[in-house]
Amino acid sequence: MLRRSLKWSVYISAAMVITIAAILFFFNWNWLRHPIEHLVSEKTGRALVIKGNIHVKLGWPLAQIQVADVTFANPAWASQPLMFTLKRLDGSISLSQLLERHIWLPVVRLAQPQVFFEQSPDGRKNWLLDRHQRDENSQAKIGNLLLDNGQITYLDPLHHTHIRVHLYTRDGQSGNAPATIVFAATGQLMNLPLVASGSGGSVLALDNETTPYPLNVDVSVARTHLHATGTITSLSRISAVDLNFNLSGPSLDQLYPLIGIALPGTPAYVTHGHLLHHAQQWRYEKFIAHIGKSEATGTLQVDHGKQRPFLHGDLHFQQLNLADLGALIGTKKSGSSAQGFSGSAQPVTPTQSGTKLNQHGVLPKIPFRIRRWNSVDADVTVRAENIQRARALPITKLITRIQMHDSILSLNPLNFGVAGGTLAGNITLNGQNNPIHAQAQVHVRKVFLNQLFPTIKLTKTSVGQINGDFDLSADGDAINQMLASANGKVVFVIDSGEISKLMLETVSLHLWEIFELELTGDKLVRLNCAVADFDVRNGVLQTQTMILDTRITTITGSGDINMARETLHLDLQPHTKIISPLALRSPIYIRGTFAKPKVSLDKTKLVVRSAGALALGAINPFLAILPLIDAGPGENSQCGKLIKQAWQPDNPATHASLRITPATRR
């Protein structure tokens, strides 16, 4: 009895399977056309219309489907009525995912697709299938996509982007060569004209995390040009990139609309290297860049995942042309309308002190554009060993660390090789303030006088080391504004050395000696000490001490240098130590602007004066200069001795030693 029951159970089960199979085999899937259209309309609020036949080949977990003549409507806010039209769709669908109410299409082939993607100004996306087009999970996910002669349009009015792409499949040139997708795109990206073309594998790996997609692409956005070959994994999410990369353009700051990271304005550039991306890291490694007349190599990496992208790496200039830095510090425009660290076209405003700036001066005046500084944090080391420069700029090398954090830009340390010595310190620009608050602490050490002004004839024979300190704070959005509002201290000391005798005789107006040296040639005179000490208030450098002492003459100075007006108002008074048979005694006035300084004499005082003794009472302020002497030859040098003597103002011997007395010419 049990055996008979089992037999009938097998017969019934077999009959049911055969019946279901027969139903499915003879089932007309077109009967589901309207229920499917109704279901999609209920879920999305948009009309799906299937005009052609539906064919289904069941399997588990994948079923094969084929649908012809399909249209799908856009939401009411979109600018076009249809999101896509298809001549035919062939592919597979995951039934297991469908039971979980997810649409997963591992492989899809579209014949003659016309696809229109649009993003509204308020963030809605027409490819999201929920009724409000905001749920990122409510979209059909496609693993691999094959396209046959189609067009894709993308519109984003908020970001001024409208791109139209034509695609078709090209068979391999030989029987064994794989087919490729060829595409061409035109339109505008971020309000910039775009033209692109290229080719890739025949299967678009939209959501494929295991198979890299081969790509060869040329893109032009305005005057920025890109050529790249390599692979991209998962085109929809770009989970990995491995590309050989060539990029050129008029200025690096024009990349901001494309990468969302503020780069400085530069001259025209060309770069090639290896671009890698994995997880949240983008790495541009082993690159070579020609920027203007400069050449650099290095590796830069951008890490995402924090509040701002973090740019870090090393930049090594094999050749640095200082003229190429003009756009960085605001001496010239980079040729871009969208600036990075420094910008253009922004009006220069008066300083907070009310002093009007010299609109036609020589100081850099193009404003820094801080509105993009919060787009990136950075830590980049820059080195330059071979520097091309004008002869008047005796800079030999550069090492600096550029850091940006929370809109605060710092160069710390900042080291230059200058005229055989060093210029070292740190500069901070706080972009959180409006205007920018700047601080600069710079130390000049052991700079040779004869190398500092190589284009000036009278200094070619001059020797001696210069030490100095800058300690300034300022506010402004351009370098000229910062200097015009600066406060702090500026000090220079030349301790010992030798200086052009012709220059000293010229300054002292020793006519006979000038004539003699013109005939016999210049000679060197021992330089005892030279000091220029300025107190800086609201952009005005007011002399506290200005003196140059040699065995021939002592030159004292007074006056000010106005950084806002870019004007000079200095008086030099030579005090001769010799008796000259033919000499004029007169103050020397330096007036005018930085661009056009004027030197003149006081004609009312061009009379013969006695070379009376001059007590160097002004030497007491030297006491604050002692650290600079220690940094140079030391306290036993000429300047050091004078400073030590200044500590004993009540000592009669001190007054005698500080007294300049007439001397018979040797």
Q: What is the pLDDT of residues 15-52, one digit of tens each?
A: 555 555 555 555 678 888 898 899 889 989 999 999 99
At residue 552, the pLDDT reads 75
pLDDT band at 564 (very low <50, low <70, confident <90, very high): very high
Q: What is the pLDDT of residues 373-395, one digit of tens each?
A: 888 999 999 999 888 876 656 77
Sorted by where each begins, the domain ranges of the chain are 25-159, 486-660
Positive or negative, the Cα torsion across 167, 173, 175, 178? negative
Mean pLDDT throughout 519-540? 81
pLDDT band at 289 (very low <50, low <70, confident <90, very high): very high
Q: DSSP assignment of 510-571, as one string?
A: BHHHHHHHHHH---EEEEEEEEEEEEEETTEEEEEEEEEEESSEEEEEEEEEETTTTEEEEE
What are the structure tokens assigned to 132, written together?
């409000």
Pairing of strands 294-303, 310-321: antiparallel
At residue 348, the pLDDT reads 42
At residue 614, the pLDDT reads 35
Chain centre distance of CA 34? 58
This prediction's pTM? 0.75
pLDDT band at 659 (very low <50, low <70, confident <90, very high): very low
Mean pLDDT throughout 494-505? 68
At residue 203, the pLDDT reads 84
At residue 556, the pLDDT reads 84
Q: What is the pLDDT of residues 174-227, one digit of tens each?
A: 556 677 899 999 999 999 999 999 999 888 877 778 889 999 999 999 999 999
At residue 502, the pLDDT reads 64
Residue 526 predicted with pLDDT over 70 = yes
Mean pLDDT throughout 452-471? 70
CB 188, CB 161: distance < 8 Å? yes
Residue 652 predicted with pLDDT over 60 = no
Q: Report in angstroms the alpha-carbon separations of 198 from 173, 202, 228.
A: 16, 12, 9
* Extended beta strands in 239-375, E state: 240-249, 269-278, 281-291, 294-303, 310-321
Residue 118 predicted with pLDDT over 60 = yes
Mean pLDDT throughout 583-603? 75
Average pLDDT, the chain: 79
Q: What is the pLDDT of residues 611-626, one digit of tens each?
A: 333 333 344 445 455 5
For the ranges 428-432, 502-506, 583-587, the one whose mean pLDDT is highest: 428-432
At residue 607, the pLDDT reads 42
What are the structure tokens assigned to 349, written together?
């405003």
Least confident of 30-39, 325-334, 448-457, 483-492: 325-334
Q: Which residue has the higher pLDDT, 15 or 408?
A: 408
3-class SS letters over 10-73: HHHHHHHHHHHHHHHHHCCHHHHHHHHHHHHHHHHCCCEEECCCEEEECCCCEEEEEEEEEEEE
Q: What is the pLDDT of residues 344-380, one digit of tens each?
A: 334 444 444 456 777 667 777 878 878 888 889 999 9
Q: Distance between CA 576 and CA 512 in Å, rounded?
A: 14
